[in-house]
């Protein structure tokens, strides 16, 4: 079917006109089946080329939409990355604050070798975050 793409459209219309003329002229009764075949062949080729052009136009429009979405993708990716970085920063700061607090509280009770319930709750809070 790909060979049909190389046939120019003007040649298809000429074949169509020759088929119509061959069908209409009485002297060519003997060649009427060939004329009918030419008409059907040219109509098929016209339909094929028209359908092919419609699909190519659709593909081009979808490629343009993809190009637009690719440009938007970069903007959205930067927004997502900045949100992730800020969330990671907040989590790190909260974790560091919890670690400093635990270190402060452990120093108070380190000489007694006894862990108070406050440290356990703080530790559990840090794990849940």
Q: Is 25 helix (H, G, I), strand (E, B) or coil?
A: coil
Structural domains in the chain (count) = 1
CA distance 33 to 90: 83
Q: Which backbone phi and psi does 55 adopt, to 5 degrees?
A: -70, -35
What's this model's pTM, rounded to 2 decimal places? 0.53
**In terms of residue numbers, what domain contains 19?**
2-128
Per DSSP, the three-state class of 104 is helix
Q: What are the φ and ψ backbone dihedral angles of 32, each rounded to 5 degrees?
A: -60, -40
**What size, in residues, is the chain?**
129
Per-residue pLDDT tens over the stretch 19-56: 999 888 888 788 889 999 999 999 999 999 999 899 99
Q: Within its chain, how far is the Cα of 39 from the centroid?
A: 42
| Residue % of the chain over a pLDDT of 70 | 89
What pLDDT does 113 receive?
A: 65
CB 64 within 8 A of CB 91: no
Distance CA 128, CA 67 (A): 43
């Amino acid at each position: 079917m790909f060979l049909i793409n190389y046939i120019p459209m003007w040649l298809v219309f000429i074949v169509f006109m020759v088929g119509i003329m061959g069908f209409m002229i009485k002297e060519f009764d003997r060649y009427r089946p060939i004329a009918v075949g030419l008409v059907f062949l040219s109509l098929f080729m016209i339909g094929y080329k028209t359908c092919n052009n419609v699909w190519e136009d659709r593909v081009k429009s979808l490629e343009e939409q993809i190009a637009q979405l690719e440009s938007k993708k970069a903007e959205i990716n930067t927004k997502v990355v900045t949100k992730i970085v800020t969330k990671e920063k907040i989590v790190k700061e909260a974790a560091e604050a919890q670690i400093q607090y635990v270190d402060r509280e452990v120093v108070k009770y380190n000489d007694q070798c006894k862990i108070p319930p406050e440290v356990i709750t703080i530790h559990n809070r840090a794990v849940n975050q």
